[in-house]
């Protein structure tokens, strides 16, 4: 018997790990170049601009936008079915389960705002290429925007890193509580590291 839910959940899991996770890591590492100053970040952004426009657009649609849409839409369906009770069961895994769902809801709004303003309104419609100077003006012009962006990035980082553990469980890679615990610790250490990098490059816009 063909179980649609079984395969959709696994597709949702692997899309989150590979497509969404890959985009997030590229986003964090590219933005971290701002720590090296304007020239460093602008050089990284210029390398992406060298990709022919039709190819770059195709990559954005098929490797980023569509996977993100599928992961978000099916993720909302999963979140609506979930029963979060961290107040009743306060052990760590239950809090991580709840945070995974809460960050999912937050990220839907965050990504709509972020993608619409920078990618569509500023770059596609306004014709303004991404640069250190643009981002510096964007963040320092409104500290609230900088704070919301930082929170959004950390939420995405947690959602991805916590998803690594659930991915290994969903796909039967981590079958015992011990190995699941080891993977969870490593994933949370990655979450901490990427979050600190994000805080550092965001703070850099205000001190450089």
| Euclidean distance between CA atoms 146 and 140, whole angstroms | 7
Q: What CATH number does residue 54 fall under?
A: 1.20.1300.10
**pTM for this structure?**
0.90
pLDDT, residue 25, reads 93
- Using 50, 70 and 90 to split pLDDT, how confident is the model at 116? confident
68-78: per-residue pLDDT in tens?
899 989 988 88
Q: Residue 130 above 80 pLDDT?
A: yes
* Count of C-beta atoms within a 10 Å radius of residue 68: 19
What separation, in Å, do the N-terminal and C-terminal C-alpha atoms of the chain show? 60
* Closest CA relative to residue 46, chosen from 139, 129, 115: 129
- Using 50, 70 and 90 to split pLDDT, how confident is the model at 6? confident
Q: Residue 198 above 60 pLDDT?
A: yes
| Euclidean distance between CA atoms 23 and 54, whole angstroms | 19
How many domains are there within the chain? 1
pLDDT, residue 115, reads 86
Could you list the residue range(s) of the whole structural domain that residue 88 is in?
A: 4-207
Helix (H) or strand (E) holding 128: none
Helix 66-81, helix 92-114: angle, nearest 10:
140
93 vs 105, more confident? 105
| Euclidean distance between CA atoms 183 and 190, whole angstroms | 11
């Amino acid at each position: 018997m063909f179980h649609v839910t079984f395969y959709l959940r696994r597709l949702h899991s692997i899309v989150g790990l590979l497509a969404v996770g890959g985009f997030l890591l590229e986003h964090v590492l590219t933005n971290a170049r701002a720590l090296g100053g304007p020239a460093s970040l602008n050089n990284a952004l210029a390398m992406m601009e060298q990709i022919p426009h039709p190819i770059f657009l195709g990559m954005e649609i098929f490797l980023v936008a569509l996977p993100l849409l599928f992961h978000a839409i099916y993720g909302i369906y999963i979140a609506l079915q979930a029963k979060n009770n961290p107040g009743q069961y306060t052990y760590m895994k239950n809090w991580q389960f709840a945070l995974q769902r809460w960050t999912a809801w937050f990220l839907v709004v965050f990504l709509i705002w972020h993608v619409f303003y920078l990618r569509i309104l500023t770059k596609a419609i306004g014709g303004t290429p991404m640069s250190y100077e643009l981002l510096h003006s964007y963040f320092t012009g409104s500290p609230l925007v900088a704070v919301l962006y930082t929170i959004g990035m950390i939420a995405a980082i947690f959602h991805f890193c916590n998803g690594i553990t659930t991915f290994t469980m969903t796909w039967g890679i981590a079958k015992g509580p011990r190995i699941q615990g080891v993977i969870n610790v490593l994933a949370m250490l990655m979450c901490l590291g990427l979050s600190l990098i994000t805080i550092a490059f965001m703070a850099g816009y205000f001190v450089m």
